[in-house]
Chain A
Amino acid sequence: MRKGFIFNHNKCVNCNACNAACILENGWTVHPRNIFTFNSEAEHLFPIINLSLACNHCESAVCMEGCPASAYSRETVTGAILLDEMKCIGCRYCQWNCPYDAPKFNSENRTIAKCNLCYYGLIEGRQPACSSACPTGALKFGQLTETDSYMNYSWFPDKKLNPAIEFAGSDKNTPLKIIPEIIYEQIVPKPVIAGKNISNELSLIIFSFLSTLSVATVITCFIKGIFPDKMIFIPVILLAGMVSFFHLGRKLRSWRSVQNLKNSPLSREIAVLIVYAIASSATVFFHLPGFLVASSIIGLIFLLVIDSVYIYADYSRSVILHSGQTFVSALLIVSFFSGIVIPFVFIGSIKLLLSVYSLSVNKSNLADFGIRFLRIAFLVISGISMILNISNIYIFISSIFLIGELLDRIFFYIDFNPLNINTLIDEKLIIERDEKKRG
């Protein structure tokens, strides 16, 4: 039978002993173990619930499957999912894929660090340091019997990964009655799901948008029967490559990124990128018509693979049905610059519908709404100009069109939210607050 962590929140008081034991045992400079707290601001009317959580050593270990560098492995005796820091390239893809916030980025050596289940001690008959150290018995390690007990925690992410964890108790306990209530009348700023900070993903935005432009250029040239200008094309490809290279934590190990073609969409993305870069470069240098066809096809595959990298991490409807995906964007750009109206109207209408859909589900504040609306307006304006063939402001219209596509890509990153426990905690509090308000 499977072993794993067994957690009883009735006994957890957020004392941090598990966390300290983990660090003392393994000498981490990061904290692989989190203590999540529902209602950490102690807002009255709501219970405070702690959850000590590190890696759940899932049966479907998406961190491992998605890792392009094959830096993860499953230890055979204990089933522990281990990360080899010497193999990790620091791409942080596992942080998207893991919903439990288990992989931690160590900014000192710029790789991931993660709970190893103290597997070496487990083999010798010791408990993991964290559960061994828990002074109340809230965190234990042992045989799992109720493998779906995490369903009792509405804020525990369920990605069907079969995590090795079991919960005693549930998060539905009676809120503490505070007497007198009046002293807690005023509340400090509440946890609200803040607008997502996409500055960390700037390099990915640049990479994916340049890739889209590049592929669109190749296909447009193919349709028009010309070859791309190498003085523009090559720098674009180089820039895209450089950006994705410098985004890695460990650049010298970037060669490892194609180690997991079998499972990792990210590995496949890098591989197809290389093939595409070679094919398209050969095309623009040597003006080989056959290569132009090949590059166009490889380019489209490349964009599909890019899109799959994201859908692998976040397969929610708002990502799958996002208008900012690279493949569909490239097709629209091609039809715009080729001047072929019917495909443009067709693809443009799809993107327009999807954008309106995004607008309806994702509007978080006025500024966000405004920019999303602007993006739709840009598409409509450039589309009408294109259909009416207004050529005297072509450059202006083209610019608006491309800015619109770039905005769309940026919104893709804003709307891309892989399932994560931190978000779920905030969402639960917001939901419970609304319920209280309605009585």
Chain B
Amino acid sequence: MAEFVTACPRNCYSTCSFRVQVENNRIIRILPYSGNLATPEGPCIKGLSYIERTNSPERIIHPLIKTSTGKFEEISSNEAFDILSGKLNLIKEKWGSRSILWYRGSGMSGLTNEIGYSFWKAFGGTTITYGNLCWPAGLEAVRLTLGSVKHNVPWDLVNAKTIIIWGKNPAETNIQEIAFIAGAKEKGCRIIVIDPLRTATADKADMLFSPKPGTDGALALAVVKELIDNDLIDHEFIARHVKGFDELKQSLRISPDDAELITGIPSENIIELARIIGKSGPLTILPGYGLQRHKNGGQTIRSILLLSVLTGNIGKSGSGFNYANLQSYIFDNLREPLSYYPDPEKDIPFRRTISMAKLGSDMLSASDPELKAAWIERGNPVLQSPDTNNVIKAFSNLLFKVVVEQFMTDTAVMADIILPAKDMFEQSDIIGSYWSPYIQFKPKVIQSPGEVLPESEIYFHLSKKLNLKISNEIIPEPGNDNIEQWLEKKISGHPEIGLNRLIESPVLAPGLQQIAFEDLKFETPSGKIEIYSSEALVKWGISALPDYTAIIHTEEGKKYPLELITPNTGSRIHSQFGNLKIIKDTNTEPVVRISPVDANKRNIKTGQRIKVFNQNGGFISRVEISNRVPSGLVVIPNGIWFNEGGGANRLIAGEETDIGFGAVFHDYMVEIEEVD
């Protein structure tokens, strides 16, 4: 038996380190690794499930080709590469390489992912996407205000006296943070959750403010007004480090009474919240990503961020605005969110015209050339993109679809060729984290089953078949030694963290500020915290100041009475893990949840089959009535496969957030009715 230290590469805050035990080329045990101070107790249930996932009999381990009858048949890798090179060449000759959409999801992070970029560049460029489904509105909001996106190390949270968890549910999406929240609470910290739902995180809180979805900005601005009117702000901090305070003060229109009408939170509680924020520092705000998946998401995050800024809770221990911590992303040429934005000069030879948020309609309307093929890796856009009906239509219209996948996902079933994808233990890589400050090495510890090849090797073989002129330094030859050499070269710009050091243990990012902004330097145009941002106005056409815009539903949308929200849950990372037996066995998570009030109105009982629908589409699922859901809301977790009764994206139109090219998931009205 051998034991290795590795790190989970999923799109998740925690990016846990853990120890993995291997016997006879099988993962047999997953154990905590205490050397990572952010995740000392080890990974969550999803991390534990790798024991099944890697060895799963349902894993795709041979290339598959769709036959004329629509069924998949196994082919050898060599056959697959022959077919692929033939098809790709044909498509390129006939319509040009930009008729191919190269779609990358966030399924597995790692530096090796950029090898694909080199391949497609050498191929002549493709069409690629801009924006991101997850978090860019908030990233851009933080970047505009603070200049860079970072926060204190996770373990500093125990020094807070007030923690406001605003639209985040770490109990399910960042479970290791619960240990720090509990640690703070044991030291007398007050825990406030602001969330429409009584989440598992709210179970740990002292207070839960439950505003109507999409009104968080109004709540924040009313609290700001109350803070200023009652002089609960840090004048010295504002004078020295903040740009635009006077303009902000002039612009505030929303009183606690107004906010009561908008948010549903009584004004006396808004005043109470302002007193807590103004008087009980240090204050850390933990904003989530769900609340910026509204049309007004960017301005919402800018408004909430004001609370930290005006009370001087930036750059100190126990304080901060923990939206994301990109301090470990040192190897990226361009950090998020800037890397999401199209740049016609730099993007050559790629064409970057397809919005992630509007994937389906943008694919359908692409012209000169039209899209003819798609290559999809690390993603499941059929399930995860908004506007499912158009996405399916757009993919169906293509002549040729390649999907690199581990399991038969809702996207994989649409493929003409499926290439089996590696799991995390089957190739070495290096990963950062957007929460913890570690750079981590993820070693290869087992041989891939069947004919599974990592993308780097897929691209190597294809480039040979296509006679592309790419050096082995750019796309390394097969073999993990070559990938490790490639990694070593990739990180050579940072001699202080050589590969050998990374192999030993996770390494804190060079230049890390344990207390972010402790130097009170901000990489904004003015060098100050920019409450007033000219860039916001120029680049995005929004107000230079944070403001609140009510969500306005279309005439069609107004016909439906219930508001949809699609949060993430503890048993999946988007559409991953939910298919595993151990996850199904230990989670009886309902697909659709509604409040007792709305259930009674419709005479719906728990467990019943129901139809959820609106003008964009609908699907049939099972319902659970829950006291955790306030009336007027329908809760459908993100990432549930169609065959499990999922399909929230069928209800979602495909629109971009106010800033950052994010996707709107949360401004849709729906109705529910029972199915006979």
B198's contact among A133, A178, A187, by CB below 8 Å, is which? A178
Chain A residues with CB under 8 A of B628: 42
Known A-B contacts A20-B586, A24-B52; the reply to A13 vs B265 at CB < 8 A is no
A41 to B47 CA separation, bound complex (whole angstroms): 28
Residues B48 and A180 in contact, CB atoms below 8 Å apart: no
Residues A42 and B626 in contact, CB atoms below 8 Å apart: yes
Chain A residues with CB under 8 A of B586: 16, 19-20, 23, 31
Chain A residues with CB under 8 A of B77: none
Residues B627 and A41 in contact, CB atoms below 8 Å apart: yes
Residues B625 and A188 in contact, CB atoms below 8 Å apart: yes
A79 is an interface residue with CB less than 8 A from chain B: no
**Closest Cβ of chain B: how far from A13's Cβ, in Å?**
4
Residues B208 and A133 in contact, CB atoms below 8 Å apart: no
B41 is an interface residue with CB less than 8 A from chain A: yes
B512 is an interface residue with CB less than 8 A from chain A: no
Chain B residues with CB under 8 A of A134: 41-42
B645 is an interface residue with CB less than 8 A from chain A: no
B178 is an interface residue with CB less than 8 A from chain A: yes
Residues 1-19 of A at the B interface (beta carbon under 8 Å): 8, 10-11, 13-17, 19
Residues A135 and B269 in contact, CB atoms below 8 Å apart: no
Known A-B contacts A20-B45, A136-B176, A179-B269; the reply to A188 vs B626 at CB < 8 A is yes
Residues B582 and A14 in contact, CB atoms below 8 Å apart: no
Q: How many residue pairs at the A-B interface have CB separations less than 8 Å?
A: 144
Residues B631 and A135 in contact, CB atoms below 8 Å apart: no
Number of residues from B at the complex interface, CB < 8 A: 62
Residues 584-636 of B at the A interface (beta carbon under 8 Å): 585-587, 595-597, 599-600, 606, 625-628, 630-632
Chain A contact residues (Cβ within 8 angstroms of B): what range? 35 or more
**Closest Cβ of chain B: how far from A60's Cβ, in Å?**
31
A202 to B114 CA separation, bound complex (whole angstroms): 67
Chain B residues with CB under 8 A of A13: 171-172, 175, 178, 200-201, 203-204, 570
Residues A186 and B595 in contact, CB atoms below 8 Å apart: yes
A48 to B606 CA separation, bound complex (whole angstroms): 21
Residues A176 and B210 in contact, CB atoms below 8 Å apart: no
Residues B585 and A23 in contact, CB atoms below 8 Å apart: yes
Residues A17 and B596 in contact, CB atoms below 8 Å apart: no
Chain A residues with CB under 8 A of B209: 179
Q: Which residue of A has the minimal Cβ distance to B177?
A: A136
Chain A residues with CB under 8 A of B597: 185-186
Chain A residues with CB under 8 A of B52: 24
B373 is an interface residue with CB less than 8 A from chain A: no
Q: A15-56: contact bitstring with B at CB < 8 Å (1 yes, 0 no)?
A: 111011101110000010000000001111001101000000
Residues B179 and A15 in contact, CB atoms below 8 Å apart: no
Q: Which residue of B has the minimal Cβ distance to A33?
A: B586
Interface centre among A10, A17, A44, A50 (most CB of B within 10 A): A17
Interface centre among B178, B185, B630 (most CB of A within 10 A): B178
B206 is an interface residue with CB less than 8 A from chain A: yes
Residues 158-208 of A at the B interface (beta carbon under 8 Å): 174, 176-180, 183-188
A398 is an interface residue with CB less than 8 A from chain B: no
B51's contact among A11, A24, A48, A177, by CB below 8 Å, is which? A24
Chain B residues with CB under 8 A of A179: 207-210, 265-266, 269
A132 to B42 CA separation, bound complex (whole angstroms): 8
Chain A residues with CB under 8 A of B625: 188
Residues A177 and B207 in contact, CB atoms below 8 Å apart: yes
Residues A14 and B208 in contact, CB atoms below 8 Å apart: no
A interface with B by C-beta (< 8 Å): 8, 10-11, 13-17, 19-21, 23-25, 31, 41-44, 47-48, 50, 126, 132-137, 174, 176-180, 183-188
9 additional A-B residue pairs with CB within 8 Å, beyond A23-B582, A179-B210, A186-B596: A10-B185, A10-B186, A15-B175, A24-B582, A47-B203, A179-B265, A183-B595, A185-B631, A186-B597
B interface with A by C-beta (< 8 Å): 16, 29-32, 39-45, 47-49, 51-52, 171-172, 175-176, 178-179, 182, 185-186, 198, 200-210, 264-266, 269, 570-571, 582-583, 585-587, 595-597, 599-600, 606, 625-628, 630-632
Query: What are 21 of the A-B contact pairs (CB < 8 Å)?
Result: A10-B186, A13-B201, A13-B204, A16-B570, A16-B586, A16-B587, A17-B45, A24-B49, A24-B51, A24-B52, A24-B582, A48-B203, A50-B203, A133-B32, A176-B206, A178-B210, A179-B207, A179-B269, A180-B210, A185-B597, A188-B606
